[in-house]
Amino acid sequence: MNAPQKVPEVVSLGCRLNLSESERIRTMLAGEDNLVVVNSCAVTSEAVRQTRQAIRKARKANPEARLLVTGCAADIEREQLGAMPEVDGLIANAAKLDPRAWNVPAKAPPVAALHTRAFVAVQNGCDHACTFCVIPQGRGQSRSLPIAQVLREIETHLEAGSAEVVLTGVDVTSWGHDLPGSPKLGALVTAVLHAFPALRRIRMSSIDGIEVDDQLFELFAGERRIMPHIHLSLQHGHDLILKRMKRRHSRADALDLVRRLKARRPEVALGADLIAGFPTECEDHHEANLSIIRDLDIVHGHIFPYSVRPGTPAARMPQVDRLSVKRRAAELRAQVAKQRSEWLPSLLGKPLEVLAEADGTGYSPEFARVTLPQGAARGSIVNVTPKTLEDNLLS
């Protein structure tokens, strides 16, 4: 009998793109012994703090291992992370999927997926210049994965047993602009649906609503294999703050997109990223942030207290005091929780197809957490009609 294959520990922080890349790193480094990789995040100062904490925790748990750090913080905070005594080396973010950067063979043996959902990075980098964001410094210009390569990667995940595919990227709705003919994201999603008729679930990561093309909108509105769960890179609910952020959409754009989508598919559950306490934000601006949660019925909210990132234009703007930033973030989270508490009961008594996780729960198409019957196999899709709701968990 062959000995089990050695698999390095990969600690992933931050976005779903990082999670996808961590899986590829883990596969690429299969067979490497006594190795820990921290795939870092630098989107906020808190993310950098968590990266440092993860490095220290990983070293304490693996005192004899070789500990390497990659990801956005490995570029943006290179000097600071490189000086940490726990760190043995840094791998540039742009090189982290290149076997040569790790000194391993180009062809790595396959490793079974760790997650029931396959996170497939179809795009990387960003060409925009939002005034609060350092990610282009760590990710570079926008680059798209060709359709054929996306299909090959999805096929690998499906063969490994993944039951749901999540298409992800830094600015995923910009996919295709650098490919021949400049195809739109809707064309890629259509190709995935046609190539894998047995694939029952496709989910999108955070999208920029202003970039949703007509074909993609029609898929969101009418294709049942696209999960009714849309997450918008919204950032704020007031037009002046959006302008100062250098975002490309207005409040009215977001409201119109969601109105048209819910007119066609009322069950869509909306998520959004929102920043609290952006420089120059006053109480009226904050109220617009709160009201857009109500107006769009945001039930999956990612709330970020504004974090000064050195070298960004927003860092030079008049800052909101930290106590106000913290309070406003808490109020935004409370408003999302209120919307969620009013939404979840609407799923009671409704048949749901739930993707089973290993802990006895799973996610509905709308991304609600549901308790599963005993014996449900991880990665299977189980029909559940929830009767009760407790602590945001349907059962």
Among 222, 142, 154, smallest CA distance to 182 is for 142
Tokens 């999540």 locate to 166
Pairing between β-strand 298-305 and β-strand 269-276 as defined by DSSP bridges: parallel
Phi and psi dihedrals of 335, rounded to 5?
A: -70, -40
Show Cβ contacts of residue 323 under 8 Å, excluding neighbours closer than 6 positions.
none
- Are 242 and 250 in contact by the 8 Å Cβ rule? The answer is yes
Mean pLDDT rounded to a whole number for the chain: 92
Show Cβ contacts of residue 97 under 8 Å, excluding neighbours closer than 6 positions.
21, 24, 25, 28
Whole-number CA gyration radius for the chain: 21
Higher pLDDT, 134 or 365: 365
Q: Is the pLDDT of residue 114 over 60?
A: no
What is the structure's pLDDT at 5? 55
What are the tens digits of pLDDT across the range 246-305? 999 999 999 999 999 999 999 999 999 999 999 999 999 999 999 999 999 999 999 999
Tokens 């520990």 locate to 9
Query: For 9-102, CATH number?
Result: 3.40.50.12160
Tokens 């992933």 locate to 12
Per residue, what are the HEC states of the chain?
CCCCCCCCEEEECCCHHHHHHHHHHHHHCCCCCCEEEEEECCCCHHHHHHHHHHHHHHHHHCCCCEEEEEEHHHHHCHHHHHCCCCCCEECCHHHCCCHHHHCCCCCCCCCCCCCCEEEEECEECCCCCCCCCCHHHHHCCCEECCHHHHHHHHHHHHHCCCCEEEEECCCHHHCCCCCCCCCCHHHHHHHHHHHCCCCCCEEECCECHHHCCHHHHHHHHHCCCECCEEEEEEECCCHHHHHHHCCCCCHHHHHHHHHHHHHHCCCCEEEEEEEECCCCCCHHHHHHHHHHHHHHCEEEEEEEECCCCCCCHHHHCCCCCHHHHHHHHHHHHHHHHHHHHHHHHHHCCCCEEEEECCCCEEECCCCCEEECCCCCCCCCEEEECCCCEECCEEC
What are the tens digits of pLDDT across the range 205-260? 999 999 999 999 999 999 999 999 999 999 999 999 999 999 999 999 999 999 99
- Are 393 and 371 in contact by the 8 Å Cβ rule? The answer is yes
Per-residue confidence at 111, pLDDT binned at 50, 70, 90?
Answer: very low
What is the structure's pLDDT at 159? 87
What are the tens digits of pLDDT across the range 180-214? 999 999 999 999 999 999 999 999 999 999 999 99
What is the structure's pLDDT at 113? 53
What are the tens digits of pLDDT across the range 68-93? 999 999 988 999 999 999 999 999 98
What is the structure's pLDDT at 1? 43
What is the structure's pLDDT at 17? 85
- Are 244 and 278 in contact by the 8 Å Cβ rule? The answer is yes
Per-residue confidence at 146, pLDDT binned at 50, 70, 90?
Answer: very high
Q: What is the domain class of 117-344 according to CATH?
A: alpha beta
How far is Cα 55 from Cα 85, in angstroms, rounded to an integer? 10
Tell me the domain boundaries of the chain: 9-102, 117-344, 348-394
Tokens 């617009």 locate to 288
